[in-house]
Amino acid sequence: MKYTEKLRNSGLRPTKQRLQICEVLFDTEKTFHFTINELSLKIKKQIDNKISLATIYNTVHAFEKKGYLKQIPINSNETYFDTNVCDHHHFYDLKKEKLIDLENADVGPIDIKRKIDGKKIKSVEILVKLED
């Protein structure tokens, strides 16, 4: 199996459910954004057996911790995740409530001049809100 090694190397047992969730998340042409609810529906469509909601939550969080998924900082009652874990930014269409990827080339270099003692920058994320 394609993802068995990847999971084992991360200290995650390659269970049937995790491998199936890997397929739904990573066997795609393009990366995509999702909420747990959306992912849950996608899984129902693509997989015969049922995977419980708790497992989907657990798995998504495990993958996020391992760096296979990223949370997108946005104010919404649902948490958004991204299968694109490269450094990149987002448009957020306020009307449609839709996220759009910004390629790195779409954003000029970002210069954070201030430093905080004893802390280092883990990530820099830009959210560009769009209106009509």
Partner DNA sequence: ACACTTTTTTAGAATCATTATAAACTACAT
Partner DNA sequence: ATGTAGTTTATAATGATTCTAAAAAAGTGT
User: Is 130 a residue that touches a copy of itself (CB under 8 A)?
Assistant: yes
- Report whether 29 contacts 52 (CB < 8 A): no
Question: Phi then psi for 88, rounded to 5 degrees?
Answer: -165, 175
Of residues 69 through 128, those in contact with a copy of itself by CB under 8 A are: 71-75, 79, 91, 93-94, 100, 102-103, 105-114, 116, 118-128
Q: Which is nearer to a copy of itself, 49 or 109 (CB)?
A: 109
Q: Which is nearer to DNA, 34 or 89 (CB)?
A: 34
User: Is 12 a residue that touches DNA (CB under 7 A)?
Assistant: yes
User: Is 36 a residue that touches a copy of itself (CB under 8 A)?
Assistant: no
How many Å apart are CA 50 and CA 43, to the nearest integer? 8
How many of the other CB atoms lie within 10 Å of CB of 115? 9
Burial group, residue 114, by CB count within 10 angstroms (0-12, 13-18, 19+): exposed
How many Å apart are CA 43 and CA 40, to the nearest integer? 5
Dihedral sign, Cα of residue 107, residue 111, residue 117, residue 120:
positive
User: Is 67 a residue that touches DNA (CB under 7 A)?
Assistant: no
Binding site residues, DNA, CB under 7 A: 8, 11-18, 35-37, 49-55, 57-59, 61, 77-79
Binding site residues, a copy of itself, CB under 8 A: 71-75, 79, 91, 93-94, 100, 102-103, 105-114, 116, 118-132
